Amino acid sequence: MSTSVSESNSSISARYLGSLFSALLAGLLFGIGLLLSGMNNPAKVRGFLDIFGAWQPALMAVMGAAVLVFAIGWRLIGKRQQPLFERQFHTPTMSSINVRLITGAAMFGIGWGMVGLCPGPALVDIATMNGDVLLFVLALLVGNRLAHWLIGPAR
């Protein structure tokens, strides 16, 4: 019996360490990709969003590549019974387009256009210790918690 418990504990420990390592690797790839593509540069992002002015379409390639990589990954996980480091896949359950989704998307887009940062690049830019970035991340966290408290989590 103790061998079974020991094997079970080592399996859980290996799964947990694998999960941590894969999260670390994914975060590093994401952060490096943001830096290399310039998506952490608010001026470049605003230039991309300025389709009626001095439009800079280069970020379209970044977004296209992200969609392609995701589509391939999504197809591959559909062929697996379970993830490598978890007991089950955590796939989206919401499929309806409603007022909450449209309102949230509009607010996200307005904020992205005003600042030129979305949450991922802002987290990468924390390392710059730029006051505007730090204030943006603080406001993002406060807004997230307020929405969670006032409206509740998405279901």
Neighbours of 136 (CB within 10 A): 22
Judge if pTM exceeds 0.75: no
**Residue 86: CB partners within 8 Å, gap ≥ 6?**
15, 19
pLDDT recorded at residue 6 = 55
pLDDT tens for each residue of 83-128: 878 888 888 888 889 898 899 899 988 888 888 888 888 888 898 8
pLDDT tens for each residue of 26-40: 989 988 988 888 888
| pLDDT interval class at 8 (50, 70, 90) | low
